[in-house]
A = this chain, B = another copy of it.
Amino acid sequence: MASEFELIARHFTPAAPGPDAGVPLGVGDDCALLAPRPGRQLAVSVDTSVANVHFPAAAPADAIGYRALAVSLSDLAAMGAEPRWCLMALALEHNDEAWLAQFARGFHALCEASKTALVGGDVTRGQLSIGVTVMGEVAAGEALTRAGARPGDTLAVTGSLGGGAGGLALWQRGERDLGHPLLARYLKPTPRLAAGMALRGLAHAAIDVSDGLLADLEHVLAASGVGARLEPEALPLANGLREALGEEAAYRAALCGGDDYELLVSLPGERLDEARRRLAEQGLALTPIGTVSAEPGVKGVDIGGAHGWQHFPGGEP
């Protein structure tokens, strides 16, 4: 059986980063050394994906690797930051070489697609989980934050909603074909990095939809000190969601389901066309779903008190 050092060397030492990667010293020393570009701020975040909490342990290993990075990159997307580097803390119950090779393939594939250099990590024994720290860059003063939504702003979301929850429901019913678009949405979400960067200078506020549209909207409203009115009939439901879940559950998935990793933005109505044009160039829709109001609270939806998904639900023993 390979040792920890061999494991790391075999699967997680990527090809030496290119000269543009800003990595004077990569994997293999006590630290990596990175060269941030002058005039930029660093956007940093960490997200941990735990087996059978955040993803099914039986999912394909490449999807698990891809997804763990995607959910962290989604936080960079929400800030409008350009991804640069990541570190991975992997906990494994077993040392299964084939699984690990497939996991690494999925992780590296998204590193490559998003131009994110893996610059360090560690492997420990324990319940399967993947903690990914991402680092991106954004010019000082240009980052999108949760604060900044103003009364009168239009609320809009990229892509479609409910696909994450719909895919999870399909998985739980036994669907295993990642060719199914909802399952792919759940297991291999696309972080909206290019969209986040394109929305800089247009949006007043942004967040990624990870906990559920309503829960994430409430984070924006709280940070901005405002309220909102939603138009539920305007929500862009994921393709096939109604058919898979039925009308009511589809709306509930779109409002509360989480795991969509779309961007929710608040922007002045007069900038909507320009924002839609920029995202259309990426083949991505931007759909207005409501407006920001001065009065606190969310109007226009009645979902019986249901909120976004949390790891430690209130009231649970």
| Chain A residues with a Cβ under 8 A of chain B | 1-5, 7, 24-25, 28-36, 38, 41-48, 50, 53-54, 75-76, 78-79, 81, 85, 87-89, 91, 95, 119-127, 129, 131, 133, 135-136, 138, 140, 143, 145-147, 206-208, 223, 310-317
A7 to B4, alpha carbons, bound, how many Å?
33
A32 to B79, alpha carbons, bound, how many Å?
9
CB within 8 Å for A125 and B44 given contacts A29-B145, A91-B50: no
User: What's the nearest-Cβ distance from chain B to residue A131, in Å?
Assistant: 4
**Are A3 and B133 closer than 8 Å at their CB atoms?**
no
**Are B223 and A46 closer than 8 Å at their CB atoms?**
no
**Are B48 and A79 closer than 8 Å at their CB atoms?**
no
User: What's the nearest-Cβ distance from chain B to residue A213, in Å?
Assistant: 15
A45 to B31, alpha carbons, bound, how many Å?
5
Residue of B nearest to A49 (CB): B124
Residue of B nearest to A25 (CB): B145
**Are B4 and A310 closer than 8 Å at their CB atoms?**
yes
Inter-chain contacts of A129 with B (CB < 8 A): 91, 124, 126, 129
**Are B120 and A312 closer than 8 Å at their CB atoms?**
no
**Are A53 and B87 closer than 8 Å at their CB atoms?**
no
**Are A4 and B311 closer than 8 Å at their CB atoms?**
yes
User: What's the nearest-Cβ distance from chain B to residue A191, in Å?
Assistant: 11
29 A-B residue pairs with CB within 8 Å: A2-B314, A3-B310, A3-B314, A24-B140, A25-B145, A28-B223, A29-B147, A31-B44, A31-B75, A31-B78, A31-B136, A32-B43, A32-B44, A34-B42, A34-B43, A42-B42, A44-B135, A46-B88, A46-B120, A46-B121, A46-B131, A47-B122, A48-B89, A50-B124, A50-B125, A87-B133, A95-B312, A124-B311, A125-B311
**Are A311 and B2 closer than 8 Å at their CB atoms?**
no
**Are B36 and A42 closer than 8 Å at their CB atoms?**
yes
Inter-chain contacts of A29 with B (CB < 8 A): 79, 145-147, 223
Residue of B nearest to A6 (CB): B314
A36 to B45, alpha carbons, bound, how many Å?
16
Besides the known contacts A33-B138, A48-B91, 8 further A-B residue pairs in the complex with CB atoms under 8 A apart = A30-B146, A30-B206, A31-B75, A46-B120, A53-B125, A53-B126, A87-B133, A123-B311
**Are A41 and B54 closer than 8 Å at their CB atoms?**
no
Inter-chain contacts of A89 with B (CB < 8 A): 46-48, 89, 131, 133
Inter-chain contacts of A223 with B (CB < 8 A): 28-29
**Are B41 and A34 closer than 8 Å at their CB atoms?**
yes
Inter-chain contacts of A121 with B (CB < 8 A): 46
**Are A131 and B48 closer than 8 Å at their CB atoms?**
yes
User: What's the nearest-Cβ distance from chain B to residue A264, in Å?
Assistant: 11
